[in-house]
Amino acid sequence: MTSPKTLLVFHNIRPKKQLGQHFLTNQTTAEMIVNRSGILPEDVVLEIGAGLGALTIPVARIVKQVFAVEKDRKIIDILKTEILTSNLSNVVIMEKNILKIDIKSLAENVGQKMVVMGNLPYNISSQILVQLIKSREALTRAVFMLQKELAQRITAQPGCKDYGRLTVMLGYCANIKKIADVKASVFFPKPKVDSEVLEFRFKKTLKYPANDEAFFFSVIKAAFGNRRKILKNALAASELNIDTNAAQNILERSGIDPVRRAETLTIEEFVRLSNNLGPTEVSL
């Protein structure tokens, strides 16, 4: 593995802060992540933010095919050379913004569900995760390196200050576990915080299915949109177009105290609230 700093200096490239570029510099760390990811020879991997190939190359040596997504043209030129030097022919580089890729269509084209991997840029991590939730029928699981702050939010329990919209959305459709800690010192440039690697296994069967999933996600957004407010007021102040009295009635019908706050509700309670409220109860 060629040092990212050496490569960037040689090509006169500076990491772009606006893209959240932090390049993994330690090969042992990269191999540890790949080993713990549990990828298999029959897997097809969609890698988000391939960068200089720190994960791309060891992943490609194991799996059937890698779709390496990278939007920085200058970085792609180096990545192509690194892949060529590694004698790999199963890597397809996609010069695109991951948020504009139709993941379901890509999976249909390859004829199987995919595994998603990557070191997610902090500034768009939440958007990427929401995109994957909505595309999860095309995926088996995901393995992501995330800044520790976000990882803690994702794995938070009800009642914690970190518990929020993303926690509920992901917990609803995936089983999540931490598979590694990664120090900030193994990146160039060095980020301000350490990272965690999380594995998301998408559930084949939902324990508490929502009647209308899109509406369920809207209810979660409404509840956490005014998280300092009690639930009946948060819902009434949202885009759900429901008044305080109606919100109170629905909450009571759902077995939820109207004066509770969003961060105290379990996933089951959010589903029950959404199913009782229903899109026919409000004017969206």
> Could you tell me how many helices (H) and strands (E) the chain has, helices first?
12, 9
Structure pTM? 0.90
Res 191: pLDDT = 85
Calculate the alpha carbon distances from 172 to 103, 104, 204, 216, 225 in Å.
20, 20, 12, 10, 19
Res 187: pLDDT = 87
Q: CA 147 to CA 144: how far, in whole Å?
A: 10
Q: Which two tokens stand for residue 271?
A: 């589903």
Res 189: pLDDT = 77
Other CB atoms within a 10 A radius of the CB of residue 176 amount to 15
* Dihedral, CA of residue 264, residue 197, residue 204 and residue 255, to nearest 10: 0
Q: CA 199 to CA 143: how far, in whole Å?
A: 5
* Dihedral, CA of residue 115, residue 117, residue 121 and residue 127, to nearest 10: 10
The tens place of each residue's pLDDT in the chain, 284 residues long, gives: 667 667 766 566 676 666 666 778 888 999 999 999 999 999 999 999 999 999 999 999 999 999 999 998 889 999 999 999 999 999 999 999 999 999 999 999 999 999 999 999 888 899 999 999 999 999 999 999 999 999 999 999 999 999 999 999 999 999 999 999 999 999 887 888 999 999 999 999 999 999 999 999 999 999 999 888 999 999 999 999 899 999 999 999 999 999 999 999 999 999 999 999 976 555 44
| Phi, psi of 117, deg, nearest 5 | -135, 160
What domains are defined for the chain? 4-202 (3.40.50.150), 213-281 (1.10.8.100)
Q: What sign for the dihedral angle of Cα 279, 282, 283, 284?
A: negative
CA 18-22-26 angle, to 5 degrees, is 175
Count, residues in the chain: 284
Res 278: pLDDT = 79
Q: CA 208 to CA 273: how far, in whole Å?
A: 12
* Contact indicator for 49, 146 with CB cutoff of 8 Å: no
